[in-house]
Amino acid sequence: MKDVVRFSFPTTIYFGPGALEQLPLCLEEVGVTKPLLVTDSGLPKTGAFNMVEAVLKQSRMRFALFSDVHPNPLIEDVERAAGAYRTNGCNGVIGLGGGSALDAAKVMPVAVTNKGSLTDYDVQTGGNTQIKGPLPAVIAIPTTAGTGSEVGRCSVITDPQANRKFLVCHPEMMPRRAILDPELTVGLPAHLTAATGMDAFTHNLEALTVDMFHPMCDAIALKGIEFTAQYLERAVKNPKDIEARGHMMIAAMMGAVAFQKDLGAAHSMAHPLSTLCGVHHGLANAICLVPVMKFNRDIVAAKYAEVARCFGTDISRLSKLEAADKAIEAVADLNRRIGIPGSLAQVGVTKDQLPVLAKKAFEDICHQANPRLCSEQDFLKLFKEAFRHS
């Protein structure tokens, strides 16, 4: 992991330590002469932001800045970013940060080019078919290894009035270039490295278990699971481990590619935990994943057996169900080793919130692809298990 490499899948990706130096070339390749740099309020205080700013200034690239994206991006964030884009005469976008900043950066061109509210373009209501292009080019620069948003064509946006998250998706929302430089992630605190890493893991795992014939995505998901099993703990415990940081960035990207198959019940639980309780999305996934794996165990035991293999378990003499149990134990153990809290109660969720969370999870679209059907009562049981689990 010493050289910068370029590959496409289909986004053109620059990967490796020092890949950030390719930013001026990326802007030139997509014809952007004045980008709007979209990020969250914390990023301008970090070394990662300083590195990006230095590269832009050294190349004499004029740019404008919007740094007010919330941890769960709001409709208002996107609308205000679109206003900054127009006011400053920009003709392209740089998304910098974690999944929230990248999602806001990717969907902002929809607001610039199309009329109405973002809710008009909600995938669940078929609004994505109404998006008109062409959309301004986006270059994505992740500073975490979690969502893989840098290679996705969808953004998750929060509607505060409805207390829900919704998806906006379009092929032209996919970034034209992604710069994956592990040096930008070394300043990420251990607890966020753990939470974002488990977000990547959950993407890969849930994509693997979706009942759809897509062997390419399955293979990618398994490799993403293997990388997480091998490198996440190293990245948490040694922030300057560039090899581990780099492999986790790849694992996150693999998760985003794999979940074009879809996701599952853990994500339907995580979404209202973020909107109603303020729990970090990756952390919510990590806490909910083990109860969901137990819920799905009997149906996807053969796939969970492959997950156990990714953790180094010899499954040759185990039944599929025994191997599935080993996979569930391995995920729970990884959570413990990297400091993930053992229950929803430990992150401030209260017992009286569980029925509302179950209702919102049932309304969420992700669980429709879960390998085992989930009723609202099933979700209530899952939330209760995650609430008391330790």
d(CA 124, CA 117): 15
Q: Where are the domains of the chain?
A: 5-184, 188-388
d(CA 32, CA 268): 37
Identify the pLDDT of residue 328: 97
The DSSP-derived string for 84-135 is HHHHTT--EEEEEESHHHHHHHHHHHHHHHS-S-GGGG-GGGTGGGG--SPP
Identify the pLDDT of residue 384: 96
Which tokens sit at 256?
Answer: 């985003």
Q: Model-level pTM?
A: 0.90
Q: Give me the CATH code for the 5-184 domain, please.
A: 3.40.50.1970
- Mark the ranges of the chain whose per-residue pLDDT is less than 70: 1, 390
Q: How far is CA 337 from CA 245, 309, 330, in A?
A: 17, 19, 10
Identify the pLDDT of residue 37: 97
Phi, psi of 80 (to 5 degrees): -70, -35
Identify the pLDDT of residue 390: 56
| Of residues 163, 373, 352, 387, the one with CA closest to residue 265 | 373
* Maximal CA-CA distance, the chain: 65
Domain 188-388 has CATH 1.20.1090.10: yes
